[in-house]
Amino acid sequence: MIRFLKILGTIILVLSIAILILIIFDFGYIFRGMQATYFQGQKTAYIDDYPHFENRLIEAGSEADKWPEHSDYNSANPTQDLAELNEELETAAFLIIKNDSIWFEKYYQEYGPDSKTNSFSMAKSIVSALLGKAIHDGHIKSLDQSVSDFFPQFKSNLKVGDLASMASGLNWNENYYNPFGMTARAYFDENIRELVLRLKVTGSPGESFKYLSGNTILLGMVIEKATGENLSNYLSESFWKPLGMQQDALWQLDSEENGMEKAYCCIASNARDFARFGKLYKNKGKWNGEQLLDSKFVARSTEPRFEDSPQYGYGFWLSDYKEKDIFYMRGIRGQYVIVIPEDDLIIVRLGENLIKKEEDEEHAPDFYKYIDETYKMLNDAANN
């Protein structure tokens, strides 16, 4: 018994010292991260984690602009490969929208049309849209306006467009698996503004692509300051209401009091509403006859900025798979809104997992699989 008490006392002492060290060196956010993940039976951030954080409401309008159902709505069955893939990767929702009508729609596990799940980095595309709206509204002059006009501590040659196109030169460390890294701190800490304002421009802005979540946080801060509104309110007035979203959404905050939205991620919404951003960009910024975004901004967003980085524009991923011009929104757990304008096609997939890409791959293998299986379904339906 004495031996047991000594061992227990040693364990308590070691844990106490470890906790003290974490607090002293400003890693206290790790406890918040453990509460939101490990204590919920998860190893990392997950699609249903929004109730464990403070959130701000993104209000929808009083009337939803419902998606019409295609004349062949759900008349086709998923291919066997698609069915197996969706089961293996724990898909929550899979939609195929053809000619602006829902052609196929299926939900898995306990999810349904109204289920909210985490957008993860699809939010980056939405923040880029907010930048376009702020320019459209006259709050920001252009993509070439200096970030230093809003935050003087940054070099004057850093432009707002550099943030949207991932070409800032900021010394942000994009590591998703290091609990002591910047990305984990941004997800679980209580002051992401302070974290980003510590950054320095150590590279050459506007010269090359490097994907950094810190870019989008700083861009969100610019939009906040330029518009005088928090991101959720500006998103509600700019898009959630005009696009006729069917539900209010939630945007995770870093803290309760004067909290900022995690601009690089974490909008909780449903598949049908996320799909509306695909339609908006497919239709060059126009919705129900109203030009919500400048068509030139949309075109520039969905074209490569840099010749040697053809996979990214301004907030959107790009691909020429099947020799088609494709742009899409992407989240780290396999969240996709894939748009193929020439075929008037939008593919939405939400879920828990993806097939991880290799370092030399620009797009995850499941991205191609979702496109392949969608075309097989469409072709099979056309031939029957």
Tokens of 69: 């159902």
Least Cα distance to 246 among 59, 66, 106 occurs for 66
Distances (CA, A) of 295 to 99, 284, 301: 20, 5, 10
Residue 298: left if φ>0, alpha if ψ -120 to 50, beta else—which one?
A: alpha
Rounded to the nearest 5°, which phi and psi values hold at 92? -100, -40
> Does residue 107 sit within a domain?
yes
Q: What is the pTM of this model?
A: 0.91
Residue 110 lies in domain: 22-37+44-383
DSSP string, 205-216: TTSS----HHHH
Sequence length of the chain is 384
Positive or negative, the CA dihedral 146, 148, 151, 155 is positive
What would you measure as the largest C-alpha separation in the chain, in angstroms?
Answer: 79
**DSSP calls for 145-192:** SBGGGT-TTS-TT-BHHHHHTT---B-----SS-TTSHHHHHHH-S-H
* Closest of 304, 154, 305, 123 to residue 222, by C-alpha: 154
Q: Decide if 8 is inside a domain.
A: no
Is 4 contained in some domain? no
Domain count, the chain: 1
CA–CA distance from 378 to each of 70, 76, 204, 247, 328 (Å)? 13, 8, 46, 29, 20
**pLDDT tens-digit profile of 110-136?**
999 999 999 999 999 999 999 999 999
Q: What pLDDT, on a 0 to 100 scale, did the predictor assign at position 6?
A: 54
pLDDT at residue 3, as a whole number? 57
**Complete DSSP assignment for 283-327:** TTTEETTEE-S-HHHHHHHTS-SBTTBTTBSSS-EEE-GGG--EE
pLDDT for 181 equals: 72
What are phi and psi for residue 230, nearest 5 degrees?
A: -75, 160
Rounded to 5 degrees, φ, ψ at 104 are -145, 145
Lookup: tokens for 381: 């339906």
Residue 65 lies in a domain: yes
**CATH code for the domain in which residue 190 is found:** 3.40.710.10
Q: Which residues contact 152 (CB under 8 A, 6 or more apart)?
A: none
With respect to residue 202, please indicate whether it lies within any of the assigned structural domains. Answer: yes
Q: Which residues of the chain have pLDDT under 50?
A: 4-5, 8-9, 13-27, 31, 33, 38
What share of the chain in percent tops pLDDT 70? 87
pLDDT at 256: 77
Structure tokens at 209: 């692509």
Which two tokens mark 108?
Answer: 């898995």
| 161 vs 132: CA distance, rounded Å | 10
* 291 part of a folded domain: yes
9 within domain boundaries: no
SS3 261: strand
Q: What is the pLDDT of residues 141-188, one digit of tens each?
A: 999 999 999 999 998 899 999 999 999 999 999 876 676 678 878 888
Contact 98, 70 (CB under 8 A): yes
Q: Does residue 93 lie within any of the structural domains?
A: yes
Residue 107 has what pLDDT?
98
Closest residue by Cα to residue 160 from 133, 187, 195:
133
